[in-house]
Amino acid sequence: MNLFPPDSTQSGNTTTRAKRPGKPQEVPEPPAIGVATVSHLIDKLSDYLTPVELKKVREAYRFSDEMHLGQVRKSGEPYISHPIAVAEICAEWKLDAQAIMAALLHDVIEDQDVKKEELLERFGPQVANLVDGLSKLEKIEFQSLVEAQAENFRKMLLAMASDVRVILIKLADRLHNMRTLGVMAPAKKRRIAGETMEVYVPIAHRLGLNNIYRELQDLAFSHLYPLRYRTLSKAVKAARGNRREVVKKILEAVKSTLAMAGIHAEVYGREKTLFGIYKKMRNKHLSFSQVLDVYGFRIVVDTVPNCYVTLGTLHGLYKPMPGKFKDYIAIRKLNGYQSLHTTLIGPYGTPVEFQIRTQDMHRTAESGVAAHWLYKTGDQNMSDLQQRTHAWLQSLLDIQQQTGDSAEFLEHVKVDLFPDSVYVFTPKSKIIALPRGATALDFAYSIHTGIGDHTVAVKINNETQPLRTELHNGDIVEIVTDPDSRPSPTWLSYVRTGKARSAIRHYLRTINVNESVELGQELLAQALAARNIEPELSASTIDKLLAESSAKSMDELYADIGIGKRMPALVARHIFGLIEGESTALPSNMPPAADIDPVTIYGSEGVSVQLAPCCLPIPGDQITGQLRRDQGLVVHTCDCLPAKRLRVKEPDRWIAVQWGEELNRRFDCRIRLLINNEKGILARVAAEIGESDGNITYVGMDEDDENMMTQLRFTIQVKDRVHLAHLIRNLRRVAGVNRVERERA
């Protein structure tokens, strides 16, 4: 039986289902949130703020109350209850007085048109800057135009980079809004829940705010998939009773064993969130019972050595499962999280997951970067977690400086918000954390942009490997550089981190402008010719075009076309509208004209024209061109399968291309040979390739022990298809070669 019935309304799905007669079924909402009061807030703040600071907070409250007088929320409550609730969440983290005051005032600029200068005069520069930073975070429209969403997201992250308290207050604001989302219309609920899951949940995780992270996930889940949420909620409640006996038995056994070992510890069960259960079922294709069969416990001890003593004690109590141990104390996660994780075989043969940590680690695990304010000391130096967070925030500023537009910035940063990480070492044993799937080239850029730009080779565990090699936990990585080396556009196809991607694109934009301008000029001229427009435009048309396209010069516009940021057919359409006196918007989705003359490819155009690495076209192949963002024109063979899939997704980015007449260079091509595994065969094959006027640039080998055969892979350089056909015929005559074929992706 399917645990999850289809939802009548889902994010991104316009399908509706007829309502059944009878009593309407209500989606379970989170527990009712009481109206926040200032007296309750002051009680919380009295635990850690001084009387002078409390007085300032009261002043901020009175000003906010006065500004929001008469304003009510959708629920009918006075609006001031919302800023108070946001301040209470910040008080749970024990944020400082300025942050609490900013939380109380966070809507007065946006909603009540209060000027920043007035806040500056009344409450000082810190509070005024925080409120101003929060007010610049316009609401992110999850289903709005991509550019608008990206620009707002960029503003939020850059405000956060200047002062992390901005995002802490914003997350508290979003949390209270999600807790009280029930009164909104269904469509608005789904939109707000969608943007929460897309933007705020990964930021909360990246900052180590696990309590907020988990609650926001579950709240967003309840509004995105209400029927699934309700079904899963009921199933979990029903399963709790059946699990109680097993949980009690494990708790008693663990507490007794630790007490006998002389370890003072807090032991308690750890329940998975509803969204965590749902995600695990979906991603790993597990049934509900399989997910709930795993029991989770958390053990909090007093010292780091006792974490490891506890681990040994538990392994003496229950047998550990091989490969199910992770030491996040020795190598902490990117967001500062530390714990020992182990999975044991408990009573009745059930898997039992344990997390072992100290009190300090527990505070960091629950409150992340906010733990800095939670437990202050006299030491003004930044903690390790603060340093990591500061480094990440600084990287946002670096990416912003190298990035051309908001959509690109959003693309880079979202990559770095993924939680999974790998931990690798420099030759001097320094630990570097990278997103899962990162390559050796990402490692080079993580050290320094200059090192990445000049990378020529990499050694992983003392063995030379390709730059595209994916890194794994524990790898020792050494980068080899050359001052004459420069980034290649093909690097963009396999780098994983936002820093590497933005640095490569920045280099390609700034260094190869002339080539991009020439290509863009040619592409636009052909697009204009298809509309019977002369490429020489009048001065008035150029002035209007530059004003409406936000380009500073025609060369900049040509360069944007050459690197794929603008479509030549759409620019030509816009020019046609200007000439006809009917200016149209550049982002139109009108497809390019079908009768544009093909672009001629000579293979010597530089980085503005790339031969696709998936199919490696050579002269004589039927070819087609794809305009890729920041990679210019990428040439594929017409029968390339990846190209066919890409063409279905973005048909308006493809243009006709053709080979030129005189091509004075050689082109890479891959071939595959199936040979007998015998002495001297590789030498005979290599010699034949040389005699056939081919040049070998790569050799790879795969053995098939069952058939006593070997598969050889070569990347060779040839002049054209005729040359390749001649070379393949010669190879087939070599003794021991059973099959030769051209290899494609």
CA-to-CA separations, 326 to 83, 304, 353, 356, 385, in angstroms, rounded? 41, 15, 11, 11, 20
- Which residue, among 450, 452, 468, has the nearest Cα to 460 in the 3D structure? 468
Distance CA 436, CA 430 (A): 18
- The two three-digit tokens of residue 131, written as one number: 């409120």
- Put the strands of the sheet holding 599-601 in their side by side order: 599-601, 654-659, 623-628, 632-637, 609-611
Name the catalytic one among 29, 53, 59, 110: 110
- Which residue, among 410, 412, 391, has the nearest Cα to 336 in the 3D structure? 391
pLDDT beyond 90 at 419:
no
Span 234-369: which CATH code?
A: 3.30.460.10
Q: Looking up tokens 């043969």, which residue turns up?
A: 349
CA-to-CA separations, 524 to 324, 509, 538, 597, 740, in angstroms, rounded? 58, 19, 15, 11, 42
Sequence-ordered strand ranges (E) for 407-454: 421-425, 431-435
Does the annotation count 245 as an active-site position?
no
pLDDT beyond 60 at 6:
no
Kindly report the backbone phi and psi dihedral angles of residue 549, in degrees, each rounded to the nearest multiple of 5, phi listed first.
-100, -5
* Average pLDDT of the residues in 332-356: 83
Q: What is the pLDDT of residues 654-706, one digit of tens each?
A: 888 889 887 778 898 999 998 887 888 888 999 999 899 988 888 887 765 55
Chain-centroid distance, C-alpha 181: 27
Distance CA 330, CA 423 (A): 11
Residue pair 600/585 in contact (Cβ under 8 Å)? The answer is no
Q: How confident is the model at residue 21 (pLDDT cuts 50, 70, 90)?
A: very low
CATH 3.30.565.10 correct for 420-509: no
Quickly list H helices, 146-225: 146-162, 164-179, 186-195, 201-206, 210-224
Distance CA 441, CA 445 (A): 6
Specify the pairing of strand 709-718 against strand 695-704.
antiparallel
Span 38-228: which CATH code?
A: 1.10.3210.10
Query: Given this model, what pLDDT does residue 150 score?
Result: 54
Name the catalytic one among 43, 92, 111, 245: 111
- The two three-digit tokens of residue 634, written as one number: 């990428």
* Average pLDDT of the residues in 240-267: 85
- Put the strands of the sheet holding 455-460 in their side by side order: 463-465, 455-460, 477-481
SS3 741: strand
Distance CA 690, CA 481 (A): 31
* Average pLDDT of the residues in 209-218: 86
Distance CA 296, CA 324 (A): 14
| Average pLDDT over all residues of the chain | 77
Cα first-last separation, the chain: 40
Least confident piece of the model among 443-447, 565-569, 717-721 = 565-569
Which sequence spans correspond to the domains of the chain?
A: 38-228, 234-369, 420-509, 512-659, 667-742
- CA torsion sign for 173, 179, 180, 182 is positive
Residue pair 131/108 in contact (Cβ under 8 Å)? The answer is yes
Distance CA 703, CA 370 (A): 55
CA-to-CA separations, 37 to 70, 244, 248, in angstroms, rounded? 17, 38, 39
Query: Given this model, what pLDDT does residue 593 score?
Result: 41
Count the neighbouring beta carbons within 10 Å of the beta carbon of residue 599: 19
State the Cα torsion 313-318-323-328 to the nearest 10°: -40
Does this model's pTM top 0.85? My answer is no
Quickly list H helices, 269-318: 274-284, 288-292, 304-317
Does the annotation count 366 as an active-site position?
no
SS3 103: helix
pLDDT beyond 50 at 17:
no
Sequence-ordered strand ranges (E) for 405-537: 421-425, 431-435, 455-460, 463-465, 477-481
Span 667-742: which CATH code?
A: 3.30.70.260
Distance CA 106, CA 173 (A): 9
Query: Given this model, what pLDDT does residue 728 score?
Result: 93
